[in-house]
C-alpha cells in the first residue's frame, strides 16, 4: 500500500482548531513514516505552538513515549515551568489513562482531541480524569476536531499492520 | 523538629506484605531526607525486589518524577521488557492519576498501597483505572498496608512544611 495521506497546510491567517489540529495531524504522519502508531500532539501557549511530538513507543521501546507525554515534557522545558496552566493540548486521539493523568499533574488548561476512545480514553471516553470530583485541578476536554481525518489515518495504519501480519503468516505457516 | 522516624528492618525470613511495604517505607524516608514529599515504592518480581524508588519531583523539577514512575522505569530496564505482567508494586500512598494510568500501560499485575487518597487516588479512591470496564488490562489494588505508619510519615512531613512556612512569614511579614 502506498502512503495514502498528505501533509496538511493550514493557513497561518486563521489560527482556529483546524489549524492546531492540522499540526498535530502532521506529527501523526511523521509517526507513520517511522512505523509507529500514528498519533500526534501539539501544545499551544499564547497562540503559538511550543511543543510538537508524535508517538515513539516502538523505536524507543518505551511505553511512556506517547505523543502527549513527549509534548508535555517539551512544553515544560520551553516554559521553564512544569505547570502548564495557560497551555492547550491538541492531540489526534483521546488520551490514554497515563497521558490523561499526566495532563492533570501538569495542570493543562484545556484539551482538544480528534477521535474518541470509549475503551481506554480517559478524558470522557472510559472515564474523565480532568473532572475527578474533588481534584485540585480540573479541565475541559473537547473531542471531534478533524475527527474523520484522524480516524482514517489510524484505521489505515492498523489495516496495513494486519495485512503485513497476514503476509508473514502466508510465507511462514508456523507464525 | 528532629527526624522522628526510624528505618524499618523487616525479617528476610518472612516475605509478606509488611516486608515489601517496609522497603517502600524506607524509600519514603530517603525522600524526606532530601526534603521531598515522603512517598516510596518497590516493584517485586518472583519474590525479589527489582526496583526501589522515592519521589523526586522537587530536586528534579519534574512533576513526573513520582516514586511509582521511577520504579516502573527501573523495573522495565531490569527485565528488558516494558511489560510488567508478573510484577507487583508496593507504594506507600495510593497512586495519582498519572501513576495509576502508567501502571495500566505497563500492565502491572497487582498493586498494594499504604494510605488511600479519596481526592486524587486513582486505584479505588477517586476512581479506579485498573478496573475500566472495557480496558485491555485490568488489575486489583489493595490498600491499608502499613497504613498507620505511612500516614504518620506523610502527616509529619506536611506539618513540618507548614511550620517552616509560618516561621518564614514571622521573619518576613511580606510573605
Nearest of A54, A127, A130 to residue A93 by alpha carbon: A54
Return the residue of B nearest to A106 by Cα. B63
Q: How confident is the model at residue B127 (pLDDT cuts 50, 70, 90)?
A: very high
* pLDDT attached to residue A145: 98
Share the mean pLDDT of chain B: 94
Chain length of chain B: 175
A47 or B169: which carries more pLDDT confidence? A47
Contacts B120 to A, Cβ<8 Å: 132, 134-136
Q: Are residues A67 and A110 in contact, defined by beta-carbon separation less than 8 angstroms?
A: no
| Interface A:B, Cβ pairs < 8 A | 99
Whether B105 sits inside 8 A of A129 (CB atoms) is no
A1-20 pLDDT, tens digit per residue, is 567 899 999 999 999 999 99
The rounded percent of chain B whose pLDDT value lies above 90 is 88
Return the residue of A nearest to B101 by Cα. A98
* pLDDT attached to residue A108: 98
Task: Give me the mean pLDDT over the B68-93 stretch.
Answer: 95
Predicted TM-score (pTM) of this structure: 0.92
A60-112 pLDDT, tens digit per residue, is 888 889 999 999 999 999 999 989 999 999 999 999 999 999 999 999 999 99
Contacts A98 to B, Cβ<8 Å: 98, 101-102, 104-105
What number of other Cβ atoms are within 10 A of residue B37's Cβ? 19
Q: Are residues B53 and B27 in contact, defined by beta-carbon separation less than 8 angstroms?
A: yes
Q: Are residues A87 and A78 in contact, defined by beta-carbon separation less than 8 angstroms?
A: no
Q: Any catalytic annotation for residue A33? A: no
Query: Phi/psi at A72 (nearest 5 deg)?
Result: -60, -45
A121-131 pLDDT, tens digit per residue, is 999 999 999 99
Q: Are residues A15 and A47 in contact, defined by beta-carbon separation less than 8 angstroms?
A: yes
Q: Which three cell numbers stand for residue A56?
A: 515513539
Task: Give me the mean pLDDT over the A17-34 stretch.
Answer: 97
pLDDT at A169 over 90: no
ipTM of the complex: 0.90
- For chain A, how far is it from start to end, CA to CA, in angstroms? 22
Task: Give me the mean pLDDT over the A118-141 stretch.
Answer: 97
- CA pair distance A172, A170, nearest whole angstrom: 6
pLDDT at B175 over 60: no
The rounded percent of chain A whose pLDDT value lies above 90 is 88
**Closest CA of chain A from B82, distance in Å:** 7
**Closest CA of chain A from B55, distance in Å:** 14
Nearest to B101 among A97, A119, A136 (CB): A97
Whether B122 sits inside 8 A of A102 (CB atoms) is no
pLDDT at B1 over 60: no
Nearest of A127, A39, A142 to residue A88 by alpha carbon: A142
- CA pair distance A101, A88, nearest whole angstrom: 15
Q: How confident is the model at residue B63 (pLDDT cuts 50, 70, 90)?
A: confident
**Closest CA of chain B from A10, distance in Å:** 33
Q: How confident is the model at residue B172 (pLDDT cuts 50, 70, 90)?
A: confident
The B87-93 sheet, strands edge to edge? B48-54, B40-45, B87-93, B110-115, B140-142
Instruction: Choose the mutation target among A97, A100, A103, A107 for the interface with B, i.e. most B CBs under 10 Å.
Output: A97
Whether B100 sits inside 8 A of A97 (CB atoms) is yes
Sign of CA dihedral A49, A140, B105, B22: positive
Q: Are residues A91 and A114 in contact, defined by beta-carbon separation less than 8 angstroms?
A: yes
What number of other Cβ atoms are within 10 A of residue B35's Cβ? 13
* pLDDT attached to residue A2: 61
Amino acid at each position: 500500500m502506498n502512503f495514502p495521506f498528505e501533509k496538511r497546510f493550514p493557513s497561518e491567517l486563521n489560527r482556529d482548531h483546524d489549524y492546531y489540529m492540522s499540526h498535530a495531524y502532521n506529527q501523526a504522519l511523521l509517526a507513520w513514516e517511522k512505523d509507529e502508531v500514528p498519533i500526534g500532539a501539539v501544545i499551544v501557549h499564547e497562540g503559538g505552538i511550543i511543543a510538537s511530538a508524535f508517538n515513539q513507543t516502538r523505536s524507543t521501546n518505551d511505553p511512556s513515549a506517547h505523543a502527549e507525554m513527549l509534548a508535555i515534557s517539551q512544553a515544560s522545558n520551553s516554559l521553564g515551568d512544569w505547570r502548564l496552566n495557560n497551555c492547550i493540548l491538541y492531540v489526534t486521539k483521546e488520551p490514554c489513562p497515563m497521558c490523561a493523568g499526566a495532563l492533570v499533574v501538569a495542570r493543562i488548561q484545556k484539551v482538544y482531541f480528534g477521535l474518541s476512545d470509549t475503551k481506554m480514553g480517559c478524558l470522557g471516553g472510559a472515564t474523565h480524569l480532568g473532572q475527578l470530583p474533588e481534584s485540585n485541578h480540573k479541565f475541559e476536554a473537547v473531542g471531534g476536531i478533524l475527527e474523520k481525518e484522524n480516524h482514517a489515518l489510524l484505521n489505515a495504519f492498523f489495516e496495513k499492520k494486519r495485512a503485513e501480519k497476514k503476509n508473514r503468516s502466508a510465507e511462514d505457516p508456523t507464525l
